[in-house]
Amino acid sequence: MRISPRHPRAASLRTRARLAREMRKGVVAPEGLIAHGRGEAFDYLLGERSSAGARKAERAAAAWLLAARRPVVSVNGNVAALAARPLARLVRALPGLRVEVNLFHRTPARAARVASRLRAGGIRTVFGVHPTVRIPKLPSDRALVDREGIAQADVCLIPLEDGDRTEALRALGIRVISIDLNPLSRTSERSDLPIIDELTRALDHITRAIPLQKAQARPGFFRPFDRSRALADAFATIERRLTRETRARAPRPSRHR
Ligand code: ATP
């Protein structure tokens, strides 16, 4: 299908078309399309741009990834389909960052397809294709992790995650940085450093913040982050936007009696 560049929502349509294509190739799960729709709805409410609060969280995330001894980013089908290149740029800025495939709907073939999608985007080493360790108390295949990756991580960046796994990673003592447009999701509520922003925008901002945060970074020293404040900022952004829209449509008092 050809998408006219003049269409007011051309970027969103292109993203949807890409996800549908990647689903047909078996990289994205059908459920991934639903998760994307949920994200898009929140992006509308947030004004489809990164708020000041999100930018602050992205700078803090760059600082935590630099301070980490073994940082890992956990990748599912949607992330591989939408953000293989932004992720490759982040790895170039932070070469110690390990990239691990983690899938709810896992088959060996799908894990291999997600890994090859990441390699096509420029990521050389991909972990998690043959995971050998299980995270305790997590029933789904998302519990399967790589001995050289998440199993040893001290900081884990988890874009588009679910709440149970966020909780399970934290229970292992791993610091969790999440990227999720929904400030009401269990992931955002449970993460140590919730970034309420769109995946590719967030990854680009973290990458750009890496060189700026480098001078202050010390291994093992994590600057405190006010997670409640980050969530409150996102709700305030949505509230301001809805108030503006409501006011713009409120009936004006008539001048004629
Ligand atoms: P939880 O268990 O945390 O409540 P959930 O059930 O909402 O999670 P999923 O249905 O797996 O989890 O959805 C993943 C989340 O990813 C959704 O909250 C959605 O807002 C978010 N999301 C989807 N696409 C994007 C995107 N491109 N950028 C950022 N967030 C996204």
Residue 6 has what pLDDT?
Answer: 81
pLDDT band of 257, cuts 50, 70, 90: low
Of 24-38, 128-142, 226-240, minimum mean pLDDT range? 128-142
pLDDT-derived band at 252, boundaries 50, 70, 90: confident
Residue 94 alpha carbon to ligand 1 centre in Å: 25
Has this prediction a pTM greater than 0.75? Answer: yes
Query: What order do you get walking across the sheet with 71-75 strand by strand?
Result: 126-127, 98-101, 71-75, 155-159, 175-179, 193-195
Average pLDDT, stretch 15-41?
96
Give the residue extent of every domain in the chain: 52-220+227-237
How many Å lie between the centroid of ligand 1 and the Cα of residue 231?
Answer: 15
Query: Tens of pLDDT along 154-198?
Result: 999 999 988 999 999 999 999 999 999 999 999 999 999 999 999
The model's pLDDT over 115-156, given as tens digits with 9 standing for 90+, comes to 999 999 999 999 999 999 999 888 888 999 999 999 999 999
Give CATH superfamily name and number for 52-220+227-237.
Phosphopantoate/pantothenate synthetase (3.40.50.12640)
CB of 198 within 6 A of ligand 1: the answer is yes
- Write the pLDDT tens digit of every residue in 35-71: 999 999 999 999 999 999 999 999 999 999 999 999 9
Given a cut of 80, is residue 253 above it in pLDDT? no
Residues 178, 182, 184, 186, CA torsion sign: negative
Measure 200 CA to ligand 1 centroid, in angstroms.
14
Q: Whose CA is nearest to atom 15 of ligand 1?
A: 160
Q: Is the CB of 185 under 6 A from ligand 1?
A: yes
The pLDDT value given to residue 3: 82
Ligand 1 pocket, 39 CB below 6 A? yes
Task: Identify which of 40, 160, 170, 200 to mutate to test ligand 1's pocket (most ligand atoms within 8 A of the CB).
Answer: 160
CA 187 to ligand 1: nearest atom: 3
